[in-house]
């Protein structure tokens, strides 16, 4: 069995949203996929971090809102495989409910993604050299997932900070954070704002 290489994490975000490149050996996974209509900005930020955009061979959206999956289809056209845990699939077309023509959003096709039961995420990630799990963490949205690496790093997208939960989502948000800490999460890489320790 191949030993997983040490993972490195860089932020290529812009417009108050973090986009993370998780690298392991030659493998590069982009976590959250840009704002629509901003491929040039993402490409420039990747270049600044010495990551050629064509090296991004895999991508995962924590959830299908415009600021987290806005460039998914353009990135696919450049060679990225979109990883889709099965529970996210029905939410992909619904992103169109929020799109305005001025967004310059390219609709995400469904037939050409790497789709898998979320319970098999560990094997899928191992296949690209990353030791970790994709965990269902609803609260902000029902399609929200987190990427939890074996070193305790966790990418939580818009999962509400425990201090800002509202009454109607408190239970589900708290359960999602509990699930992550039970599984060993220690360092949060959120969709917005700074990295923090749990």
The CA distance from 101 to 153, in Å, is 36
By CB under 5 A, name the binding residues for Zn ion.
65, 158
Query: Minimum Å distance from CB 30 to Zn ion?
Result: 17
Number of CB atoms found within 10 A of residue 165's CB: 16
Burial label, 48 (beta-carbon count in 10 A; 0-12, 13-18, 19+): exposed
Closer residue to Zn ion, CB minimum distance, 65 or 76: 65
The encoded tokens of residue 177 equal 């954070």
Residue nearest to Zn ion (CB): 65
Q: Which one-letter DSSP state was computed for residue 107?
A: P
The encoded tokens of residue 137 equal 């963490």
Q: Which one-letter DSSP state was computed for residue 185?
A: -
Torsion angles phi and psi, residue 44, rounded to 5: -65, -40
Closer residue to Zn ion, CB minimum distance, 57 or 136: 136
Query: Minimum Å distance from CB 157 to Zn ion?
Result: 7
Query: Minimum Å distance from CB 76 to Zn ion?
Result: 20
Query: Minimum Å distance from CB 106 to Zn ion?
Result: 19
């Amino acid at each position: 069995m191949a030993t997983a290489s040490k993972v490195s994490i860089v932020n290529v975000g812009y417009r108050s949203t973090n986009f993370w490149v998780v690298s392991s050996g030659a493998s590069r996974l982009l976590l959250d996929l840009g704002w629509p209509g901003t491929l040039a900005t993402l490409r420039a930020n990747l270049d600044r971090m010495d990551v050629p955009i064509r090296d991004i061979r895999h991508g995962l959206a924590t959830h299908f809102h415009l600021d987290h999956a806005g460039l998914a289809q353009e990135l696919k056209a450049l060679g990225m495989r979109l990883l889709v845990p099965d529970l996210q699939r029905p939410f992909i077309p619904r992103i169109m409910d929020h799109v305005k023509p001025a967004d310059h959003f390219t609709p995400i096709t469904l037939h050409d993604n790497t789709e898998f039961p979320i319970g098999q995420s560990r094997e899928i990630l191992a296949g690209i050299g990353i030791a970790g799990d994709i965990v269902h963490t609803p609260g902000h949205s029902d399609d929200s997932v987190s990427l939890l690496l074996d070193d305790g790093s966790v990418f939580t997208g818009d999962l509400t900070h425990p201090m800002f939960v509202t009454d109607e989502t408190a239970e589900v948000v708290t359960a999602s954070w509990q699930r992550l800490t039970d599984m060993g999460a220690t360092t949060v890489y959120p969709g917005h704002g700074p990295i923090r320790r749990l």
